[in-house]
Structure 1
Amino acid sequence: MSTSSRTTTADEKSMEESKNSVGSYLMEHWVLPVLGITAYAMLGTASRIAITDGTKGGDFFSSYSYFAANCLGSFVMGLMNGIPDLKKKTPGFHQGVTVGYCGCFTTFSSWIYAIVKAPSPDVGAVEFLTGMSMPFISWLFGNDIGAAFVDLTKDHKPWITDKAWYLIDQALVVFPYVFTALLFPLIATQGVFPPASVYASLLSPLGAIPRWISSTYLNSLWPQFPLGTFVANVLAVAFDGILMGAAPGNTFAGYCITGIGGSWSTVSSFVNDTFNLYRKHWEGERSVAKNKFWVYWYLTVSVGISLAIAAIVHACTK
């Protein structure tokens, strides 16, 4: 075989390997995450709407309508992150649940507007205080349950192979598509779930995917401040405010506020970021004072700027 033939063969092999590596990268870092987040985002938004509508009858939940959703979503987020093996063995499912389901089950922008548009100052104050405390307690409770499960099962020998875990992960990513395809038309036609809620749920990936992108690429830029989550929450507050002012009472705008804005913002990731800052190690050491400073800075800036935007929008659209 001539030298030129060997060179051509080597080049072709190199190009093939390059294509395979690019394909694997796209599949692992874009295709599967987007598929998982999209599916679980719709379920998360549907769950938020269902629990918000279902708890409106009580005196407490009539005033604090997003309390239950934000607490339950934060609990699930804490539970998932309390079991590290889930992220290693089922990355698609873990990302789908934490980013898609929990991120859309909870809503930061709707909570901010619930504070600003509260019927009285005392209701707004309680909305603020419960929102700044109970989701954090719920996350911690879920995380403790996950950690306890890990501790109780640490001596058990694994009986599921890596290949089986891979197949389970793929199935758990695909399952929500089958579930929503069967469930949404059924519950909408039977009157269990209003068609408006289905439309809002179908729009939710348009909020969840930008949030995932901003968190993936911006959170690591400044370790002391999760910039991606902050940007997503602030933009969602502005997005909701613009729609409220530009198209008050418009049906499609309502779908977008609930589906896109409610999913673009997130309380569960906001809470998760806060606990991650508490546990952060700076240059190999953990500084309690430094961690607490950045925690309170993150909380103050995130909530303060969001409230300011919402207050300005509300004042201009009264």
Structure 2
Amino acid sequence: MNQVGLSNTFSTLTEFHLPFIATSIIGNVCRLSILKLNNLYSSSYTTNGTILYVNFTACIFMGILQTIKFEDSNIQTCLTTGYCGTFSSFSTYIWELFIHTVLRADEYPNRGYSICEFLIGNIIELSVSISGLKFGINMGLILKQRFNFGTRKIGAVIKATLLFLSIPLLILMLVLAIVYRNKFNSYWCLSSLFAVFGTYGRFYLSKINSKPLSQKWHFPLGTFMTNFIASTVLSIFFILLQRYSSDAIKKLVIYSLIEGLTASLSTMSTFMNEMNNLSFVKSSVYFVITVFSSYSMFIIILGSYKWSRGLDHLE
């Protein structure tokens, strides 16, 4: 009996958990790479370093995967929840709304412009992300029509590749995080380790979506909770980042938690996919509740701290 249990544990580890860990690390690195690429030059069409490009790209991949579904549910989950979910970030999007509506409010002619920024930010983010998902869905349909490929074989190849990369990626990120711990750029490595925990947290919370209450109200409660919790924790981390801005080691760890744990715990690609599967009214209610509740936590926690003590190091 013990041998059977051990065999099942090993099978679950190789069939799901190790590939899932690999996709979470790769997704985190992809997100940070696009953010860094966009931040390398000035005079960008949009704000440098914005999450907009990341969420658009992640939603494209999510759309493709919703059309070209792999027969192996484990690899499908790894690529959607693991890779696309970690690649995109909802909490970072809420943080950017806070920057333009609160931190930069003094730059506007009057406070009323903050409302305009809030509306514009939501319109652009929603439009770009949902269009990326729609584009991916249609691209997937074209690929299925023009290329007769077997998802079973491709899925097996992807799973084997992820399984082969999982442990080396973990070791590589851990070693680099230790070796370059005194350099701020090592947040790439450390955040990728934290991203694994964030992705697992989102994966297990997403199971609430199948509960009777979520099904009855057509409200993905699990995804809502991940985005809400991630946004709340992120606002707390920014207070800590403000307080320990002069301590290099603490700053590195907190920033890695921001870019790894909270960014991976939240998701924009899954959020958009769920909205796409709901009716217009229900998806609108889902969007408004999620955005306003998450943004409200930023106002309550980080906004209160700004007005009482200031956020000079974040501005």
Same fold per TM (> 0.5)? yes
Q: For residues 76 and 183 of structure 1, what CA distance do their matches in structure 2 show?
A: 26
Task: Decide whether aligned partners of structure 1 residues 117 and 165 sit closer, same or farther in structure 2, where only a CA change above 3 A counts.
Answer: closer
Q: For 1:40, which of 23, 33, 39 is the aligned residue?
A: 23
Post-superposition offset of 1:292: 2.3
1:83 aligns to 2:83 (yes or no): no
The corresponding residue for 2:160 is 171
| 3-state DSSP of counterpart to 2:50 | coil
Query: Does structure 1 retain, via aligned residues, the 8 Å contact 2:176–2:189?
Result: no
**Sequence identity percentage:** 21
Q: For residues 292 and 35 of structure 2, what CA distance do their matches in structure 1 show?
A: 25
Q: For residues 53 and 179 of structure 1, what CA distance do their matches in structure 2 show?
A: 24
Query: Does structure 1 retain, via aligned residues, the 8 Å contact 2:38–2:49?
Result: no
Counterparts in 2 of 1:288-307, with a 5 A limit? 291-307=279-295
1:145 aligns to 2:139 (yes or no): yes
Query: Does structure 2 retain, via aligned residues, the 8 Å contact 1:70–1:105?
Result: yes
Q: Which amino acid aligns with 1:137?
A: S
Structure 2 residues without counterparts, runs of 5 or longer: 106-113, 307-315
Task: Decide whether aligned partners of structure 1 residues 124 and 304 sit closer, same or farther in structure 2, where only a CA change above 3 A counts.
Answer: closer
Query: Does structure 1 retain, via aligned residues, the 8 Å contact 2:176–2:186?
Result: no
Query: Does structure 2 retain, via aligned residues, the 8 Å contact 1:42–1:202?
Result: yes
Task: Decide whether aligned partners of structure 1 residues 176 and 131 sit closer, same or farther in structure 2, where only a CA change above 3 A counts.
Answer: farther
The corresponding residue for 1:309 is 297
1:60 aligns to 2:40 (yes or no): no
Query: Does structure 1 retain, via aligned residues, the 8 Å contact 2:240–2:254?
Result: no
Deviations 1:226-279 (A, max 9, x none): 1110000000011111222244234111111110000000000101111122xx
Post-superposition offset of 1:32: 3.3
Counterparts in 2 of 1:66-105, with a 5 A limit? 66-84=51-69, 86=70, 88-89=71-72, 91-105=73-87
Q: Which amino acid aligns with 1:97?
A: L
Counterparts in 2 of 1:235-274, with a 5 A limit? 235-248=229-242, 249=245, 250-251=250-251, 252-274=253-275
The corresponding residue for 1:233 is 227
Task: Decide whether aligned partners of structure 1 residues 131 and 219 sit closer, same or farther in structure 2, where only a CA change above 3 A counts.
Answer: farther
Counterparts in 2 of 1:18-33, with a 5 A limit? 20=4, 24=8, 27-28=11-12, 32-33=15-16
Q: For residues 19 and 293 of structure 2, what CA distance do their matches in structure 1 show?
A: 31
Q: How high is the TM-score relative to the length of structure 1? A: 0.77
1:134 aligns to 2:134 (yes or no): no
Q: Which amino acid aligns with 1:231?
A: M
Q: For residues 81 and 293 of structure 2, what CA distance do their matches in structure 1 show?
A: 23
Query: Does structure 1 retain, via aligned residues, the 8 Å contact 2:97–2:118?
Result: yes
Q: For residues 193 and 233 of structure 2, what CA distance do their matches in structure 1 show?
A: 18
| 3-state DSSP of counterpart to 1:65 | coil
| 3-state DSSP of counterpart to 1:266 | coil
Q: For residues 207 and 14 of structure 2, what CA distance do their matches in structure 1 show?
A: 15
Query: Does structure 1 retain, via aligned residues, the 8 Å contact 2:75–2:155?
Result: no
| Count of residue pairs brought into register by the alignment | 277
Q: CA RMSD in A?
A: 3.0
| 3-state DSSP of counterpart to 1:133 | helix
| 3-state DSSP of counterpart to 1:43 | helix
Q: For residues 33 and 211 of structure 1, what CA distance do their matches in structure 2 show?
A: 15
The corresponding residue for 1:284 is none
Q: For residues 84 and 31 of structure 2, what CA distance do their matches in structure 1 show?
A: 10
Q: For residues 275 and 7 of structure 2, what CA distance do their matches in structure 1 show?
A: 35
| 3-state DSSP of counterpart to 2:47 | helix
The corresponding residue for 1:282 is none
Post-superposition offset of 1:61: 3.8
Structure 1 residues without counterparts, runs of 5 or longer: 1-14, 278-290
Pick the structure with greater CA Rg: 1
Q: How high is the TM-score relative to the length of structure 2? A: 0.77
Task: Decide whether aligned partners of structure 1 residues 150 and 179 sit closer, same or farther in structure 2, where only a CA change above 3 A counts.
Answer: farther
Post-superposition offset of 1:219: 3.9
The corresponding residue for 2:169 is 180
